[in-house]
Amino acid sequence: MNLKPVPNIEPTTRTCFKCKSSFTSYLNSNAYSIVCPKCGTVYSIYNNVIDKSTDLVKTPREGVDLPMGTSGTIKGIRYLVTGYMRKNENGTNYHWDEYTLFNPVHGVAYLSQYDGHWMFLKELTGLPSTEEKVARFEGIQYDLYSRYRSKLKTASGEFIYQLSSTETAYVEEYINPPEMLSKERTADNITWYKGEYIQPEDIKSGFEVLTVPARKGVGMIQPFMAKFNSDVFRQLVILLIVFWGLSQLYFLQSASEEIVFQQDFNISDSTNKKEIFSKSFDLKHGLSNAEVKLNTNVSNNWMYCAVTLVNEKTGDLYNVDLEAEYYFGYEGGESWTEGSNWVSKVVSSVPEGRYYLIIYSEKPTSMKNAYITVSVTRDVYIFSNGLIVLILLLAYPVFYFYRKNAFEKKRWYNSNYSPYDDED
């Protein structure tokens, strides 16, 4: 716990008229109401003089996370904790803690804690505009999250406004994580606040406390990933897709797709299931791929070829299995087709050099003759490779936005104005 003094704040000691206990005043003439930490008597202060009061509030029965007199740093400013309140939503069991913070130069600010989620709030001098379920301030849109009445449960310390143990405030909260706008309306006043999510570890380090309440669920304005900006990430994904598209266009344009070999063969019963040797041909363009393609005359039948690409100089072998199946017919008055009378496969990373093919063919015995054409195309564009790259590029973004969507649904779970209510 950090009890270091805040510059230009000189505490004074006051005495409760009811219980005669002494307590410390930090705001002095800046305070409007003060609550005796022992008996809960609520006093009003005029010209730094305490008025006797008959109003009482309950005081905290247990120790609070940031006791009165604790000092800490938030957003580079050192504040002193001068007041504490526990409030609840009228008619429910939901409750949260609010701390009043004071700095002689920067004035009053507030910390709110609910289920381990902290928000830092300051009163606005400007007035946001509202329409239906939206509030706008300084060009930023905030969406309505909740409307409720808040009621004071316990209090202790000093406050810059008149505190009442019985008054309820009507609250409207609008969010644009990690920020929010809060409108608080009482019988006499309307006050707007702007809040920002504060990470629990920043509370621990700023106020030098060992523990803070553990977070439960998703906070109302908790950022999905504290170090990630979703808009920037979305723009990065768009740039990656554009870069991928341009790169694929480049590869498509630069691929030579040169047919370096083509030969026709007649597969009869005498040559079926036997090796056939092709004429030689050259593969150029250094280390690149080669597409081996089989065209057939199969009709309601099939044809199989095992093709071996052989380097004449090194003896290196590259094997591909090619099977063409093509069937068609009529059923129920409609025509149908299945398969194709051609098939191809690409062999990657084939060095340049002089090559020939060994073709082992197999046809069904029902076919007397099968006519096939075998061709080799050098340096072809392979869309599937680009598709794999795209899938890899988008894998994390898809995972990110899936998780973010699930995170947002949890955020809006307790809201009566959830944009996800219409989803199945």
- Cα separation, 282 vs 354, in Å, equals 5
Low-confidence ranges of the chain (pLDDT < 70): 1-8, 226-230, 422-424
Q: Are 77 and 86 in contact (CB under 8 A)?
A: no
Per-residue model confidence as pLDDT tens digits over 92-103: 888 999 999 999
Q: Could you tell me the domains of the chain?
A: 12-216 (no CATH), 256-380 (2.60.120.380)
Query: Phi/psi of residue 171, each to 5°?
Result: -120, 135
Beta strands in 26-116 (DSSP E): 33-35, 42-46, 49-51, 71-74, 77-89, 95-103, 107-114
> What pLDDT, on the 0 to 100 scale, is given for residue 2?
61
Q: Are 7 and 104 in contact (CB under 8 A)?
A: yes
> What pLDDT, on the 0 to 100 scale, is given for residue 74?
95
> What pLDDT, on the 0 to 100 scale, is given for residue 5?
60
> What pLDDT, on the 0 to 100 scale, is given for residue 250?
81
Nearest to 377 by CA among 404, 355, 410: 355
What is the model's pTM? Answer: 0.71
> What pLDDT, on the 0 to 100 scale, is given for residue 55?
84
- Cα separation, 197 vs 15, in Å, equals 37
- Cα separation, 316 vs 305, in Å, equals 19
Q: Are 218 and 410 in contact (CB under 8 A)?
A: yes
Return the bridge partners of 340, or none.
Answer: 325
